[in-house]
Homo-oligomer: A and B are copies of this chain.
Amino acid sequence: MTVTIKDIAKVAGVSKATVSRSLNDSPLVAETTRERIKDLADTMGFEFNANARSLSTSKTGTVGIIYPERFGKFGVSLYYSSLLNQIRDFLEKEELDNIVAFPRNRYTGESNIKRLIQSKKIDGLLIIHPNITDVDQKIMNFIEISKMPYVFLHHYPSFCDVETVDAIYTNHFGGGYDATKHLIDLGHRNIICLTSYGDSMEFRQRTEGYRAALIDNNIEINEDFIFRGYRDIGSGYKMIKENMDFIEKNNITGMFSQTDLMAIGVMEGLKEFGKKIPDDYSIVGYDDIEMVMDFKPNLTTIHQPREEIAILTCNRLLELINGVKSNKKVNISLSTKLIIRESTKKIE
C-alpha cells in the first residue's frame, strides 16, 4: 500500500541505504543510480515517512506557532490575520509545515509549548504571546535549556531581560509618540487618547508615547483624557456615545485611538452626532489594518511593519534551526510609520 525505501530498493535491486542516499542527494552515490532511484521513487509514488525520518534525524519539518491567548476574540484574530498570513507564506516557501497552538491547553491547563518540544513534534517555535507571566517563567527556562530554536514576535518581551531572548517587535512607544506628535504639529492641544483595558505592555507603551509627546510640547497631561476600551469597533463607538458631552466641554479636537478598530468605531459614533472628520475632529489610529481603507475618510494611522516582522522573524528562526552557531540573541525593535491620510487636518 504505502511505498517505502525498502520497496524501492527491492525493485531497483539495490540496498535501502543507496535509496536513502539517492533520495537525499548524498554525494556518496553515483549520479546515474541517483537519477534512476529518483525516477523510480517518482513513478512508485514514494514519499518519506515523516515519523521514521524524524525519529532518525530529530528534524520534523514543522514549526510551532503559538497564538496569543486572546486570539479567540474577534477583533484580535482579525488584527493578527495579516501577520499570520505573511508567516504562513514564508513557511510555505521553505516547505515547512506549521502546528498552531495556544500557550496552554485551555482544558487541561498543560503547557503546549513544553509538550510540543518534549514530544519532538517541531523544529522551532514562533511565539506571539503578549506577556509571559511569572508563572510562565518556568516555561521560558524550559525552552532555553531544551535548546529549541524560538523567536518571540510582535510583542515586546516584557517578562525578562530583552537581551536574553530572540525577539522581533515594534516600537510602540515611538508609535504612540508619533501619533500624538502629528496631532500636535497640526495645532491640536486638547487630545484624548483611547487605549486598552488591562495592562498589555504594548498599550502601556503607546500611552507612554502619548504622554511623552505632550510633555515635550508643554501640554499638560490630563488623566481624564485617557479612555479605555476593548480594542474593537464597539468600544470606540461606545466611548464617543458616552462622552460626547465631555469631549465638547473640553474642546477636544484631536483623538489618538490605539487600535484602528476603535478608531473606526469612534468615527461611526462621531458621524451619528453629525460631526465631520477631519473638520471637527482629527483622528489617528494604530495598526494600519486593511479594513481601514474601506471607511471614509481614510484613517491616518500608525503603520505596524507586519511584513518586515514576519520576514525577519522567519529568517531568524531558520538560521537558528539550521544551526547557526552563536550565543548572541537577536533582538530587533522595528519602527512604526505614520501614514497620513484623510482623518487629520491642521486646526484653524
A contacts, CB < 8 Å to B: 2, 45, 47-52, 54-55, 60, 62, 71-72, 74, 77-78, 81-82, 85, 88-89, 92-93, 95, 97-102, 105-108, 114-116, 118-121, 232-234, 237, 265, 268, 271-272, 289-291, 293-296
A118–B62 alpha-carbon span in the complex (Å) = 15
Asked if A121 contacts B294 (CB within 8 A), the reply is no
Minimum CB distance partner of A265 in chain B: B294
Asked if B74 contacts A290 (CB within 8 A), the reply is yes
Q: Which residues of B contact A52 (CB under 8 A)?
A: 51, 55
Q: Which residues of B contact A48 (CB under 8 A)?
A: 119
26 examples of A-B residue contacts, CB within 8 angstroms: A2-B120, A47-B118, A49-B55, A49-B120, A51-B51, A51-B54, A55-B55, A62-B99, A62-B121, A74-B81, A74-B289, A74-B290, A77-B85, A78-B78, A78-B291, A92-B102, A92-B107, A97-B99, A98-B99, A99-B100, A234-B293, A237-B296, A268-B294, A268-B295, A271-B271, A272-B296
Set B81, B93, B295: member contacting A78, Cβ < 8 A:
B81
Set B82, B105, B296: member contacting A92, Cβ < 8 A:
B105
Asked if A115 contacts B62 (CB within 8 A), the reply is no
A62–B85 alpha-carbon span in the complex (Å) = 21
Which 6 pairs, one residue from A and one from B, show the smallest C-beta to C-beta distance?
A47-B118, A233-B294, A51-B54, A50-B119, A77-B81, A74-B290
A72-B89, A74-B81, A92-B102 are known contacts; what are 16 more A-B pairs with Cβ within 8 Å? A47-B115, A49-B55, A49-B120, A50-B119, A51-B120, A55-B55, A62-B99, A62-B121, A72-B85, A89-B106, A97-B116, A97-B121, A99-B100, A233-B294, A268-B296, A272-B296
Asked if B120 contacts A50 (CB within 8 A), the reply is yes
Asked if B102 contacts A99 (CB within 8 A), the reply is no
Q: Which residues of B contact A290 (CB under 8 A)?
A: 74
Q: Which residues of B contact A77 (CB under 8 A)?
A: 81, 85
Asked if B85 contacts A71 (CB within 8 A), the reply is yes
Minimum CB distance partner of A106 in chain B: B92
Asked if A55 contacts B51 (CB within 8 A), the reply is yes
**Contacts A51-B120, A232-B294, A268-B296; is A101 near B95 (CB within 8 Å)?**
no
Q: Which residues of B contact A105 (CB under 8 A)?
A: 92, 95
Minimum CB distance partner of A104 in chain B: B92
Q: Closest CB of chain B to A37's CB: distance in Å?
A: 17
Q: Which residues of B contact A294 (CB under 8 A)?
A: 232-234, 237, 265, 268
**Contacts A106-B92, A296-B272; is A291 near B72 (CB within 8 Å)?**
no
Q: Closest CB of chain B to A318's CB: distance in Å?
A: 15
